[in-house]
Amino acid sequence: MRILSTATALAALVLATPALADAKFTGFIEKTLWPRVKAAGFSRDLFDEAFAGITEPDPAVLKLANNQPEFNSKTSEYLAKAVTPARIQTGQTAVANDGALLAAIEKKYGVSRYALLGIWGIESNFGKDLGSMSVMRSLATLIYSGRKTQYANEQLIAAFRILQKGIRKPDHFTGSWAAAMGHTQFIPTSYLSYAQDWTGDGQKDIWGSKEDALASTAHYLAKSGWKNDRPWGFEVKLPKGFNRALIGRKTWKTIGDWQKLGLARADGAA
């Protein structure tokens, strides 16, 4: 009979012992999140099932929340990383393989198949990376840390509605650090509002069905005012002395108004 050395035995004990829970985090779940979820009409059993095994905030969530490349990179840098030759090739293959599906979705919703492919490719690399982080842990971490609290609180209640409907089981309820889910990364509120059952199997399955996911995305864009006869945008040149306070999502003007301010297309077109 072999006897383990003291060091080996201790190492084995450490490996076999679950990580200690973060008492403050578990207390936050119980004392802060449970009253909110209860007030929204959900049962204690569902709450316990949703947070089973979640005892610590997810450090990856905070790291990713602080380093979103679309906000921290120049457009050219972001595109160089996101729109790679390999991704373009995969998209072209999808056009060939899923042409009939894309054409049917485009016909029903009036949304360009190429816009859908672009979103699918950027959001999950055409379904290869759906996100493996716990939706409930991600949202709890954001609220606990004080990051995006209004967003996360709203998504938390929507996530419980998804669980209550039985659409997804807690142990398979996964997505990104921001709780974006499935092939085209729907957040819970958007899923509840726009998800579609394209296959007709009774499930709006944006995780396992590319058909449902692409139709849901087209429906979302159509309801958001998508117009197929409009370009996605233009690269423009700014005039000297341009008021840079006008740059950003909060300032909206017609193309004519921007032209009056001296903006012109970079390629010289009208």
Residue 176's identity, in one-letter code, is S
Q: Dihedral, CA atoms, 187, 191, 194, 200, nearest 10 degrees?
A: 140
- Return the bridge partners of 237, or none: 264
Residue 35's identity, in one-letter code, is P
Supply the DSSP symbol for 237. Answer: E
Phi (first) and psi of residue 174, to 5 degrees: -125, 160
> What CA–CA distance (Å, rounded) separates 130 from 65?
17
Q: Dihedral, CA atoms, 224, 225, 229, 234, nearest 10 degrees?
A: -70
231: helix, coil or strand? coil
| Pairing mode, strands 133-134 and 174-175 | antiparallel
207's tokens: 């995780």
**Percent of the chain scored above 90 by pLDDT?**
80
Q: How do residues 118-159 score in pLDDT, each as one tens digit?
A: 999 999 999 999 999 999 999 999 999 998 999 999 999 999
Query: Which distant-in-sequence residues (6+ apart) come within 8 Å of 267 by Cβ?
Result: 235
Assign 3-class secondary structure to 41-93: CCCHHHHHHHCCCCCCCCHHHHHHHCCCHHHHCCHHHHHHHHCCHHHHHHHHH
Residue 107's identity, in one-letter code, is K
pLDDT surpassing 50 at residue 64: yes
What pLDDT score was predicted for residue 28? 97
* Radius of gyration for the alpha carbons in the chain, expressed in angstroms and rounded: 23
Instruction: Match 């197929």 to its residue by tokens.
Output: 228
> What CA–CA distance (Å, rounded) separates 44 from 90?
45
Sign of CA dihedral 127, 133, 138, 139: positive
Q: How do residues 20-52 score in pLDDT, each as one tens digit?
A: 679 999 999 999 999 999 999 999 999 999 999
Q: How do residues 221-252 score in pLDDT, each as one tens digit?
A: 999 999 988 887 888 999 999 999 999 889 99
Could you give the C-alpha distances from 55 to 77, 105, 167, 180, in angstroms and in order?
37, 42, 24, 21
Sign of CA dihedral 36, 40, 44, 49: negative
- Return the bridge partners of 264, or none: 237
Cβ contact 148:142 at 8 Å: yes
* pLDDT confidence bin for 210, thresholds 50/70/90: very high
